[in-house]
A and B are shown apart, each in its own frame.
Chain A
Amino acid sequence: MAFKDVVVIGQYIPTNSVLHRAMAETKIVMTLFFIIGAFISQSFAVLALLFGALALLIILSNVPLRFYARSAKTVFILALFTFVFNALLTGQEVLFRLGPIAFKTEGVIVGIFFGLRLFFLIFVSTVLTATTSPVDLADGLNTLLRPLEVIKVPVEEFSLIMTIALRFIPVLADEADRILKAQKARGLNLSGNVLKRIEKLVPIVIPLFVSAFMKAEDLAVAMEVRGYLPGVKRTKYKVTKLGGVDVVVFVFTAVVFVASYLLRSKWVLVW
């Protein structure tokens, strides 16, 4: 399986869905509020509500379900880690034992909660990046962060860094895939224990860094020769306007957020 099939976050899938048509700013604000919603409590009711909202977003995004399914595997491993650590280390009362390892009641519940929350956070961000092109995303951030310019924050440069970073995720994933194959052809075998595996990543990571630096240098030169100057006032090529879709998304976000706040003390199994 190629890297880019695993690294789904950050990939833009262009379809003409309702969500694609909404302004980037709207979707960023929505994602932000959903994330805050997930963090204000440890209520399973809120989580259920948020997952419901997420399901709706996924359907509205018109992005094939298998795109999300592909990333689920990677997220699952992360969530499993979160679960196991919590289950073993949180609480006193033992729920069950696996040999010498004791799973605690409180830990299992907290672990399930954190695992699910991780799933939510990653998928809600994936919906944002899948439905918003990197350029729009950076433009959106640029607009939203504009007030910070008053306190001399280089917002323009920050959004440019974001655009480039997002834009290069698939490029570097392809590159990593190529390097991996090349080193496999030279007999690199990635099996073994964790330490061995980390050591064996050196022949992949170093060429990847070298290539990233070379690309960065080329890009910097290419931008300079085309007249890029940092800190210059810019106008936008594409001026976006608040539309009906945006109003609907804002209302939806507000309803979900307020409901999350009101439900914050329901179904809290462990606090």
Chain B
Amino acid sequence: MDAVKPLSLRIAKGEWIALVGHTGSGKSSLAQLMAGLTAPSKGTVKHFGKLWNYPKDLSIDVRRRIGFLFQFPEHQFFAETVYDEVAFAAKNFELDSIEERVKKSLDIAGLSFDEFKDRSPFTLSGGEKRKVALASVIVCDPEVLILDEPSAGLDGASKKAFWDWLRSYSNSQRTVIFITHSLEEAVAAERVLVLSNGALLFADAPREVFSHVNTLRRVGLEPPISAELSYELRKRVSFPMALTVEELIRALDGDV
């Protein structure tokens, strides 16, 4: 069985994309295809407008330009110190001024360089581990960042801080693609790709996608509560489609 069924998709530079779907819908496989980590069994994947003969000819440069954060990335730790763990990719790609890069990426991830650089990544707390994992990917300053369930296992405050950071990262002309099965998280994206059993169901703006409440429910996804409420209200009265609680309140106040 194919993990991803035939689909055609183009992602522009600087886009902020959510990839959603039920468990086993093919999200991770599609993300790995996008990152050039898996070769398609049929069809082609172009990276940066060019077709690469995967895996032999996919240049190291493409790898450097696409950062990929796996689910539970802390399971990939191997180095003795946080510094070595974060510097790993930068060394592999033979980048210059490694210490500066490590410092900057730890800083972006919200960890103090001096405090953490000599600590073992294995002894950190869950949240700190995730931050180190993130730093170890952004150390190469990738143009495209693909994240597989990045907020899984983070507590409320860490989650919010993480999304705020990701938002600002994507604002600087970088493409961000994140996998999630929480549609609440997908609301903030510019485009939402919905996968079901390997097929691409929707690839549209959140407002458009979330108006198909029944279809989403049918494929095992839980629409955001505000979307559901406004959907029910729209059946009865004239009401705008609200995706967030704030939008819903504003709509109820009659501001929209």
Taking beta carbons and an 8 Å cutoff, which residues of A are in contact with B?
178-179, 181-189, 202-207, 210-211
Q: Is the CB of A182 within 8 A of B60?
A: no
Contact between chains at A182 and B68 (CB < 8 Å): yes
The 9 closest A-B pairs by CB, nearest first: A187-B92, A206-B78, A186-B89, A185-B68, A182-B76, A203-B78, A187-B93, A181-B37, A182-B70
Question: Is B88 interfacial (CB-CB < 8 Å)?
Answer: yes
- What's the minimum C-beta distance from B176 to chain A, rounded to whole angstroms? 15
CB pair A185 B67 closer than 8 Å = yes
Nearest CB of chain B from residue A259's CB, rounded to whole Å: 44
Answer whether A186 and B136 are a contact pair too, CB < 8 Å, given A181-B32, A181-B70, A203-B88. yes
Taking CB atoms, residues of chain A closer than 8 Å to B76 are 179, 182-183, 203, 207
> Quick one: given A181-B32, A182-B68, A210-B122, are A187 and B63 in contact (CB under 8 Å)?
yes
B216 within 8 Å of A by Cβ?
no
Whole-angstrom CA separation of A178 from B77 in the bound complex? 13
Q: Is B64 part of the binding interface, using a Cβ–Cβ cutoff of 8 Å?
A: yes
**Given the complex of chains A and B, what is the CA–CA distance between A190 and B131 in angstroms?**
27
Q: How far is the CB of A1 from chain B (nearest CB, A)?
A: 10
Chain B interface mostly helix, strand, loop or mixed?
A: helix
B75 interface hit (Cβ, 8 Å): yes
- A102 to B77 CA separation, bound complex (whole angstroms): 47
Instruction: Specify which of A179, A186, A204 is in contact with B88 (CB 8 Å cutoff).
Output: A186
Residue in B32, B89, B122 whose beta carbon sits within 8 Å of that of A187 in the complex: B89
Tell me how far the C-beta of B185 lies from the nearest C-beta in chain A, rounded to whole angstroms: 22
The answer to the question of B137 belonging to the interface, with a C-beta cut-off of 8 Å to chain A, is yes
- With A181-B32, A203-B88, A210-B122 known to touch, is A187 a contact of B75 (CB < 8 Å)? no
Q: How far is the CB of B48 from chain A (nearest CB, A)?
A: 16
21 A-B pairs (CB sep. < 8 Å) = A178-B70, A179-B75, A181-B68, A182-B68, A182-B70, A183-B76, A185-B35, A185-B66, A186-B89, A187-B60, A187-B64, A187-B89, A187-B93, A187-B140, A189-B92, A203-B76, A203-B79, A206-B77, A207-B75, A207-B76, A210-B75
In Å, the complex CA distance between A184 and B136 comes to 13
With the chains together, A189 CA to B91 CA distance in Å?
Answer: 11
The one of B38, B75, B122, B137 that contacts A186, using a Cβ cutoff of 8 Å: B137
